[in-house]
Amino acid sequence: MKHTKKYKWHKVAENIGEINFSDNGLTEIKVADKIICIAFRNNSLTACTQKCPHAGGILSDGFIDAAENIVCPLHRYKFSLQNGRNTSGEGYFLKTFPVEIRNEGVFIGFEENNLFNWLK
Ligand code: FES
């Protein structure tokens, strides 16, 4: 059986230039009462939870490594920005969100009917 995820899309900016990234290519942004982390690297945008799944490190204060993992500033665990996989092998999982750049602006998708939507 094919499972298709449904997303509720939230506009976060008119365009990429409107998003104020730090020198590390990361920033946090408020979307529908949640703070999330947005990453800009190699002309693409990705998004994930702001807090590290290990012990709550603020991921927008970390950095993006050469393999395009986000690296947590607290204990340096690494997570793929594409799928949230814990590429340094500690067994955690980072929630990521789809990002779409449309003519009308930049949109972040939150899964509908997902328990995560109640968490911050
Ligand atoms: S809090 Fe992020 S690696 Fe420990």
CATH T-level assignment (fold) for domain 7-115: Rieske Iron-sulfur Protein (2.102.10)
Q: Is the CB of 57 under 6 A from ligand 1?
A: yes
What's the pLDDT score for residue 3?
A: 54
What's the pLDDT score for residue 118?
A: 57
Tell me how far apart the alpha carbons of residues 29 and 35 are, in angstroms, rounded to a whole number.
6
Task: Over range 12-22, report the average pLDDT.
Answer: 96
Report yes or no on whether pTM surpasses 0.75.
yes
Say how many Å lie between the CA of residue 115 and the centre of ligand 1. Answer: 22
pLDDT above 90 covers a percentage of the chain that reads 86
Residue 74 to residues 53, 96, 115, Cα–Cα distance (Å) = 11, 19, 26
Q: Is the CB of 77 under 6 A from ligand 1?
A: yes
CA angle 109, 104, 61 (to 5 degrees): 50
